Amino acid sequence: MRALKPARFAVTALVAAVTGIAIAAGPASADVPIGQPQNGKMTYYNDKGYGACGTPIDASSQDLVAVPAAWWTSANPNNDQLCKGISVEVSYNGRTIRVPVRDKCPSCDRTHIDLSQTAFQKLAPLDRGVVNGITWKFVR
């Protein structure tokens, strides 16, 4: 029976590859809690170049968000579910904005988002740097 286990795994892996099903590649896209509020903090950045979704970004002049690496579900972030029409709605101090996911924040924990400079300014002055007590959620 032991000799069959590796063969069974190989067949399962082959079926998964053919059908496009991921095996233990991280959390499933269903694990991204669309519409479920998160309490956390926000920071900002102003990088220019290519974001994790494979598109050009300018975080000093475009409204966008880099979300924690923990929420990404694909080994190739360019193909990740988060890059396909997912935005983040952020609320703080009576204001709410919606920004598209365009980048990944490798140093952010699950409740910390990194807004572009322009998006951050819509909620708080830049000299705050880090703002705790925000509410945010993934939206389509």
Q: Which residues contact 30 (CB under 8 A, 6 or more apart)?
A: none
Q: How confident is the model at residue 32 (pLDDT cuts 50, 70, 90)?
A: confident
Q: Identify whether the C-beta of residue 89 lies closer than 8 Å to the C-beta of residue 97.
A: yes
Q: Tell me the domains of the chain and their CATH numbers.
A: 29-139 (2.40.40.10)
The alpha carbon dihedral of 29, 116, 94, 129 has a sign of: positive
pLDDT digits (tens, 9 = 90+) for 9-30: 333 334 334 434 333 334 444 4
pLDDT digits (tens, 9 = 90+) for 81-102: 999 999 999 999 999 999 999 9
Is the pTM for the entire model greater than 0.75?
Answer: yes
Quote the mean pLDDT of the chain.
Answer: 84
b/e for 67-105, b at 16 or more Cβ within 10 A? bbbbbbbeeebeebbbbeebbbbbebeeeebebbbbbbb
